[in-house]
Amino acid sequence: MKQNYSIGVDLGGTNIKFGIANEKGKISKKIVLPTKAEKGQESVISQILKGINSILDKSKDEIKGIGIGAPGTVISAKGTVEHPPNFPDWGKVHLGKIVSKKTNLSVQVENDANAAAIGELIYGAGKKLNDFLMVTLGTGVGGGIIFNKQLYRGSHGAAGEIGHISINHNGRKCKCGSRGCVETYIGNKYLISNVKKQLLRHRDSLIYKMIEGNNSLLSPKLISEAAEQHDDFAISIIVNAGQSLGYGISSVINVLDITNVIIGGGVAGFGEILFRSIESTIQRRVMKPFRDKIKILPAGLKNEAGIKGAAALVFYKS
Amino acid sequence: MKQNYSIGVDLGGTNIKFGIANEKGKISKKIVLPTKAEKGQESVISQILKGINSILDKSKDEIKGIGIGAPGTVISAKGTVEHPPNFPDWGKVHLGKIVSKKTNLSVQVENDANAAAIGELIYGAGKKLNDFLMVTLGTGVGGGIIFNKQLYRGSHGAAGEIGHISINHNGRKCKCGSRGCVETYIGNKYLISNVKKQLLRHRDSLIYKMIEGNNSLLSPKLISEAAEQHDDFAISIIVNAGQSLGYGISSVINVLDITNVIIGGGVAGFGEILFRSIESTIQRRVMKPFRDKIKILPAGLKNEAGIKGAAALVFYKS
């Protein structure tokens, strides 16, 4: 029987999302369970298995395998997940082996940013590209490198940390230990905390009115809405975010000579303004021979990108 | 008959260096001719052929081929050299084909920084490494990426521009069009011009005494000599240069997950002080999982590195 389906598991800090995908990335069933990360690794693993079992309504014969996108350091050859941020008491877990043993299915585990890159390669904006950089914008800024239609993993399986290109060696301290990393400008938490600092100097802005003194309402979505209503401060936040990311990506392009860039994740919802800012920054900053080759593309996988990326791991041939 | 020898041609802006190398990188004959770049491409090509012919004292049967390391954009698959800086009236030249036709030998052409990387891989500090970053310090700052014992060329053959990682998006304007590139801190010309600017604030330094008011005497070598005599200003120049390079390399390591770095070229003559500064900076700035894996090595090829790198192209299997 032809095994046309895969199960995608998107392991997040708060929720785990599960879905069954076909070879074209169509999700036919989807469920969400709480991660219960605070209860420790046993509990998380049990939630993962619970989700997989409850979604296994297809005959197992049609399921080619399970793909898991996980935060933290993932050694995909071994299926191990180490020290995911916000997972206390986790250490190093042989997640691939454990899930494979309990389900009798083959399991591919991959870092979530790499899974996003493979998702775009198999299902999304990278289907017709040989080489591209994937950038995922969220709480952190992740990255994946596709070269010759293959994920580039580096010497120890940890390549692609585009969020930790420093664009200012004297910049803000990053949680990675360095300073001025791209993530300290455009990662959700840093971005919002930067906006808070500037807000008092922008009392005439729509953002100031919208949050009515309640800073906790600040979010990328709210900034987006203000920008759509032509609020200058909101627009400047998004333009600056695009510039910061553009500076970092320009350096990566100079080193890697990969000129296609796919951008996905929440903050990518900043839309046209963000993309134009990224592109014009790169056009100014990248070395001349690359300029007419630059393509900045929004991710093809929007909703359920996490599940689809994970499911794509099963259909990816390395 | 076993073809144990290759001819290496190191095409520079001022001189062309030629040598015959065996498989172990021993140079058995060496000559130097002026490039005559100002007289145009015909003249440069004629100098290249002249040099090769006058060095061809070995029986051609023993010569496996010719390797040429060239500045500018080199498409090695086609053997073309485009727009080398300081070569007026050059455009795009099919150097590989021309030299091959005139000599009846196979010819490999490579960008000079990539040739340096292959030289280290075949003959030098990279012989036992699978993966390393090569950084060449000179007028410019060049780079080459070796992964799985192969040169990584990128999508268009132009990868490896480690000198054009920006470490400060508001930094000094770089000739590439960007700002704050590593090259604007540690490339010879920029480095010396930065030192000139600071010199008047350091009249008590040995450097100030050594040049006796003649700024044109400033050179990396002179700074080295002052540092060897424990001059604080000279030491701070070298430490700062190492930090700037370290910031840039840290970003590259985070993206590529390649943790061996080989550093060669003139400014690498700054020696221990430079290497210690680079290493301690990277240890502070690179992401934690990489820290215990970092190796910063001086290039194995010192004298005649250019000839040896070019000669190594012939023995490199891609």
Q: Tens digit of pLDDT for each residue in B78-92?
A: 999 988 878 888 889
pTM: 0.94
Other Cβ atoms within 10 Å of B106 Cβ, number: 15
pLDDT of res. A257: 96
Contact B83, B72 (CB under 8 A): yes
| B143–A284 CB contact, under 8 Å | no
Other Cβ atoms within 10 Å of A15 Cβ, number: 15
| B176–A287 CB contact, under 8 Å | yes
| B247–A162 CB contact, under 8 Å | no
Residues of A in contact with B250 (CB under 8 A): 166, 178
DSSP class of A6: E
How far, CA to CA in Å, does B17 sit from each of A154, B48, B67, B211, B310? 35, 9, 12, 31, 10
Contact A245, A185 (CB under 8 A): yes
ipTM attached to this prediction: 0.93
Contact A125, A299 (CB under 8 A): yes
- Expressed in percent and rounded to 5, the helix, strand and coil fractions of chain B are 45, 25, 30
Given a cut of 70, the residues of chain A with pLDDT beneath it are: 1, 58, 268
pLDDT of res. B1: 62
| B285–A179 CB contact, under 8 Å | yes
pLDDT of res. A1: 62
Given a cut of 70, the residues of chain B with pLDDT beneath it are: 1, 58, 268
For B223-258, the pLDDT digits (tens) are 999 999 999 999 999 999 999 999 999 999 999 999
pLDDT of res. A61: 75
Does B155 lie at the interface with A, CB-CB under 8 angstroms? Answer: yes
For CATH 3.30.420.40, the residue range(s) in chain A are 5-121+304-315, 127-298
pLDDT of res. B127: 96
Tell me the C-alpha distance between A174 and A151, whole Å: 26
The side-by-side arrangement of strands in the sheet containing A73-75 is: A73-75, A80-82, A92-93
pLDDT of res. A140: 87
Longest dimension (CA), chain A: 65
Q: Which CATH superfamily is domain B5-121+306-315 in?
A: ATPase, nucleotide binding domain (3.30.420.40)
Does B159 lie at the interface with A, CB-CB under 8 angstroms? Answer: yes
Residues of A in contact with B168 (CB under 8 A): 167-170
| B155–A131 CB contact, under 8 Å | yes
Which CATH architecture best describes the domain A127-298?
2-Layer Sandwich (3.30)
- Chain B from 113 to 132: CB within 8 A of any A CB: 130-131
Contact A178, A152 (CB under 8 A): no
**A5-121+304-315 topology per CATH:** Nucleotidyltransferase; domain 5 (3.30.420)
E runs forming strands in chain A: 5-11, 15-22, 27-34, 63-70, 73-75, 80-82, 92-93, 107-111, 132-137, 141-147, 150-151, 260-265, 295-298
Closest CA to A106 of A1, A28, A6, A4: A6
